[in-house]
Amino acid sequence: MDELNGHYLDDLKAGMTAIFAKTITDADIVMFAGVSGDMNPVHLNHDYASQTRFGGRIVHGMLTASFISAVLGTKLPGPGCIYVSQNLRFLAPVRVGDTVCARVTVVNVDQESKRVKVETTCTVGDKAVVAGEAELVVPRRAALQAAE
């Protein structure tokens, strides 16, 4: 792995894992609402959210899931990979002050198609809050690419 390219396809093996963790602040929610346009009051309005089944404000599910992208783009595989697909299951709410740990684990490396399948999870403590799988395209080393 180098700063600009991350892990190459031939470096990856099933079982490799990386994480990114972040404690959610109120500012994170407000900024995500502004950037995404998702102004659902369940995320922004305490009085409204307290009347829902959640009993208070919750973090945008996609904000929580975006930490998976942080792992993929910076750690495993890292810079140079292309996010092709993702499925997600939102399992539990996340709240301001929770520390979300996004984990990516390599499941399968297909050398021929240059595709990598990874398991993606986000947890708060021991509780899974998001789960899914993603598919990535990962470059080979320059010397191997030139030989193709």
Domains and CATH numbers, the chain: 9-25+60-147 (3.10.129.10)
Q: Burial code of 105-123, b = ≥16 C-beta within 10 A, e = fewer? A: bbbebeeeebbbbbebbbb
Average pLDDT over residues 129-138: 97
Look up the pTM and report it.
0.90
Report the distance separating Cα 106 and Cα 124, nearest Å: 21
Report the distance separating Cα 33 and Cα 59, nearest Å: 10
Residue type, 135: E
Residue type, 99: T
Dig out the tokens for 105 from the structure: 């684990």
pLDDT digits (tens, 9 = 90+) for 45-61: 999 999 999 999 999 99
pLDDT digits (tens, 9 = 90+) for 2-45: 566 789 999 999 999 999 999 999 999 999 999 999 999 999 99
